[in-house]
Amino acid sequence: MLLLLISCFSFILLSKSLSSKHQHHHRERRLFPPWDEAFTTTFMTSWFQKGTLQIFTSTTPLKKLKPKAKNLVWSSSTENQKEDHNKTTPSPSLLDLPELVLDCILDRLQPAELCAMSGVCSSLRERCVSDDVWEKRMKGKWGKVIGDAAYREWQWYIALKNRSNLLNNQRNQSNFSFESVAKIWPFLSWFNIKPRAEKELKNGGLAVDSIMAWYLALETGRFSFPAQVYNRENGHAGFLLSCYDAKLSYDSKTDTFQARYSPHGRRTTEENISWDRLRAPPVDTCSYDLHISDSLFELKPGDHIEIQWRRNREFPYGWWYGVVGHMESCNGNENHCRCQDTDTVMLEFKQYPSSSRWRKTMINRENHREVGNEGDGFYGGIRKLYNQQEISMWQSLWPNQVLE
């Protein structure tokens, strides 16, 4: 208490001394009124009477200090300079960002947003339609179902479209020249008519052979591509644990596909096919051709395989899942099994009961070709499955009950 009292008196005395010392030099600069005796007496009396320190709030608020004339002039001139600076300095643009930052922004845009961004200006258009930007998006969404067969189909699609444009141009223009062809020709890569920089149409059109054009053709369903469908015809019992070639078109509204199968079958179309029932063809073999097997001498009991099978020789092959089993002469003991050393291989399809004629078949390792008959169908080439992901996919399609 005594220390607080001493501090108050010290502050009052110090204020008075400073005020009197600089009174004739800085009278106009004083920010607070001088501490007079009346205020000091009132403060100390109140403090001693109540025993606590009271904070007084003046009923008359302090007036704000008015700036001097020169300050007003300086402030006005500063504001004018800011306005002039805003008029002369252009607002920051997206293209002013560093290259790496701009690439990171574009990398996070959705395909629809990239298409919108490409219409902003020519500089952004060049970036937004480049193959480097769209390659990642193509692999991310379509990589699972797009294979070499689909790519070849796309190249043929481009070639036919370009040929049609070229013929129309020949009919409509009498002064036919190389430059007129260059305006409409999407410049197929194997023709090398023009360098990459001239692949854009002069009116700003998108190069037809770009990855962006391919992505949009798939997304809109304008381009139908070859792929394979698991459990054809929506899980029909006759096609369980099989995978057949089809022409697929995408429906973006339902995020599903429509498949058109070979005309030799029960049905030629199927709708509402989900992504998880599709795959790109694992081998580059036509569905009517025999696949040449390269792993026959490696096969041993327990291996997972796919084998071509068709009902008759007019039908296309489908791929069917099975496993390598033990020969009838083998008791299944791993320590004494010699099935891998025999000339024949036993294939089992365990989705069928042991009494079914579809349960087992045998093939020859030495000179395997298509084997079978009109009653049991025809067995073709074999693929040994090394990838656990492929095996897991087949096992996830296993039927809930044994097929008849």
* Cβ–Cβ under 8 Å, residues 105 and 97: yes
Most confident region among 32-46, 48-62, 231-245, 312-326 by mean pLDDT: 312-326
Task: Provide the Cα torsion 19, 20, 24, 28; round to 10°.
Answer: 20
Question: Around Cβ 79, how many Cβ atoms within 10 Å?
Answer: 10
DSSP 334: T
Is the overall model pTM greater than 0.95, yes or no? Answer: no
* Beta-strand runs (E) in 163-262: 225-230, 242-251, 256-260
CA 308, CA 380: separation in Å to the nearest integer? 5
CA 148, CA 243: separation in Å to the nearest integer? 17
Structure tokens at 159: 């070639």
Radius of gyration from C-alpha coordinates of the chain: 42
Say what the pLDDT of residue 322 is: 96
What pLDDT, in 10s, does the model give residues 374-394? 888 999 999 999 999 999 999
Residue 263: C-alpha distances to residues 34, 38, 75, 248, 379 (Å): 107, 113, 85, 15, 20
Please list the residues that pair with 371 across neighbouring strands. Answer: 379
Say what the pLDDT of residue 275 is: 97
Q: What integer best gives the mean pLDDT of the chain? A: 75
Residue 78: C-alpha distances to residues 69, 87, 91, 212, 358 (Å): 14, 14, 20, 51, 92
Question: When comparing pLDDT for 381 and 178, which is higher?
Answer: 381
> How would residue 359 be classed by pLDDT, with cut points 50, 70 and 90?
very high
Say what the pLDDT of residue 93 is: 75
Question: Around Cβ 168, how many Cβ atoms within 10 Å?
Answer: 11
Q: Strands 371-373 and 377-384: what pairing?
A: antiparallel
CA 32, CA 342: separation in Å to the nearest integer? 111
